[in-house]
Amino acid sequence: MKLPALILLLAASAFSEDLLKVKFASKDVPLTADPASKFWKQIPPVFATRSNLGVELPGNRTEIRVRWTPDSLYVLMSCPYTELYVNPNPSTTTETNLLWEHDVAEIFLGADFDNIHRYREYQVSPQGEWVDLDIDTKKPIPNAWKWDSQMKVKARIDEKAKIWYGEFQIPFKSVTDKAVKPGTKMRGNFYRFQGGPPERKMVAWSPTGRISNHTPEKFGILEFVK
């Protein structure tokens, strides 16, 4: 085995599974993209501060808040920035393929612990663009971005504070056909792409130890609790 490959393998084995306990809310609410809202202000964030290889990325500390209702997973990501790297002609009424080539917040989520290579991906940009994808890392799905989760998104840019906010409402039915209840667990990860080349950065909640985000064996665990 060549030395660089060995280093990456050792880095991958160094990370343990992160666990996030997701608190319950009794009903769905309109999206606000506001961490100070009634829905979010009592939910403490977890943080994404490192690259996939575990390198700290100062100035890119991303706050992640998560809740669930009987039908939906809610995620709010607060993303500090220096300069935004966005599409010049955004569309918020149609899905945007290749959205990840610009600034985005993204979620990977899977419910099948026996087939962890099958999961879904959800993205929102600072401008409110969106894309969702049906992922199979063993047998890539043609036109995976044309899959439709029926999710809702909202984005907001605070230019004074230099923070953009991206909020998701993801129907559980897009992830699993089983009822979600206290004690249910899913595999997942949260990422953010920030900035344009050559200074582009990728921030991860649960670093995988590998360059690729699509490393499901290193995803964290979401546990749904009351």
The residues, ordered by sequence, that sit 6+ positions from 199 with a Cβ below 8 Å of its Cβ are none
Distance CA 95, CA 197 (A): 24
Domains of the chain (ranges, CATH numbers): 3-225 (2.60.40.1190)
User: What's residue 17's pLDDT?
Assistant: 67
Query: Does residue 2 carry a pLDDT above 80?
Result: no
Which pLDDT band, with edges at 50, 70 and 90, does 75 fall under? very high
- The better pLDDT of the pair 7, 221 is held by 221
C-beta separation of 51 from 71 below 8 A? no
Tokens 């599974």 locate to: 17
Which pLDDT band, with edges at 50, 70 and 90, does 1 fall under? very low
Strands of 28-184, DSSP E: 46-48, 62-68, 72-80, 104-110, 118-124, 130-136, 152-158, 163-171
Give which of 146, 157, 31, 154 is closest to 85, Cα–Cα: 157
pLDDT tens profile 136-192 = 999 999 999 999 999 999 999 999 999 999 999 999 999 999 999 999 999 999 999
Give mean pLDDT, residues 106-116: 98
Query: Does residue 3 carry a pLDDT above 70?
Result: no
DSSP 113-152: SS-TTEEEEEEE-TTS-EEEEEEESSSPPTTGGG-----E
pLDDT tens profile 22-55 = 999 999 999 999 999 999 999 999 999 999 999 9
Give mean pLDDT, residues 50-75: 96
pLDDT tens profile 83-107 = 999 999 999 999 999 999 999 999 9
* pTM: predicted TM-score of the whole model, two decimal places: 0.92
Other Cβ atoms within 10 Å of 36 Cβ, number? 7
In percent, the amount of the chain with pLDDT more than 70 equals: 92
Q: What is the dihedral of CA 22, 152, 173, 191, to 10 degrees?
A: -50
User: What's residue 120's pLDDT?
Assistant: 98
C-beta separation of 192 from 48 below 8 A? yes
